């Protein structure tokens, strides 16, 4: 037993970076849809994984590697906006990824699709994902606020084991 709770995708939305306090899923593929507390114009994302110095394995083999971020207008959106495809590299435990393909549309739902990890064949651990953006209020003036992640609920989580 790895001692990691595979039932808690909410762990990826919380600031606890203790070893094992992550969203863990079998294999290297995972998918999560997150409803933000505000509708924002997304400017970037941050991903965090524990450093190999405090990792029980002594490596970041369980860290997500390649992932895609998208914005959805509603949970059943069949034409989401792809913000970009990214790679979490070995090195800094906290990495920022600016939007590659910007949108004039503001979103309150984003999804993350994790397509690979750093070599662990059994499972992947996402410690923290954050969404950065601007909230826009149009009354008699515009006010822009920088947001870290503001999450109400995880709408959908899916994982599957891909066999080659």
Instruction: Report CA torsion sign: 66, 9, 77, 145.
Output: negative
pLDDT at residue 137, as a whole number: 58
Question: For the chain, give me the number of helices (H) and strands (E)?
Answer: 0, 10
More confident residue, 104 or 151: 104
Q: What is the mean pLDDT of the segment spanning 80-98? A: 97
Phi, psi of 90 (to 5 degrees): -65, 135
CB 35 within 8 A of CB 152: yes
The single-letter DSSP state of residue 89 is P
Percent helix, strand and coil across the chain, each rounded to 5? 5, 50, 45
Query: Could you give the CA distance from residue 5 to residue 24 in angstroms, rounded to a whole number?
Result: 7
Q: What is the mean pLDDT of the segment spanning 30-44? A: 93
pLDDT in tens, 112-147: 999 999 999 999 999 999 999 998 654 323 333 333
CB 136 within 8 A of CB 106: yes
Q: Assign 3-class secondary structure to 29-87.
A: EEEEEEEEEEEEEEEEEEEECCCCCCCCCCCCCCCECEEEEEEECCCCCCCCEEEEEEE
pLDDT exceeds cutoff 50 at 162: no
């Amino acid at each position: 037993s790895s001692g990691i709770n595979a039932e808690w995708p909410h762990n990826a939305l919380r600031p606890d970076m203790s070893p094992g306090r992550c969203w863990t899923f079998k294999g290297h593929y995972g998918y999560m849809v997150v409803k933000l507390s505000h509708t924002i114009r997304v400017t970037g994302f941050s991903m965090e994984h524990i450093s190999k110095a405090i990792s029980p394995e002594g490596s970041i083999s369980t860290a997500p590697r390649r992932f895609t971020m998208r914005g959805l207008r509603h949970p059943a959106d069949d034409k989401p906006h792809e913000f970009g495809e990214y790679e979490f590299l070995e090195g800094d435990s906290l990495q920022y990824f600016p939007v590659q393909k910007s949108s004039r549309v503001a979103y309150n739902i984003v999804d993350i699709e994790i397509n690979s990890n750093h070599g662990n064949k059994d499972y992947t651990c996402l410690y923290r994902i954050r969404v950065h953006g601007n909230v826009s209020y149009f009354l008699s003036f515009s006010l822009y606020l920088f947001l870290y992640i503001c999450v109400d609920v995880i709408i959908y989580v899916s994982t599957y084991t891909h066999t080659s």
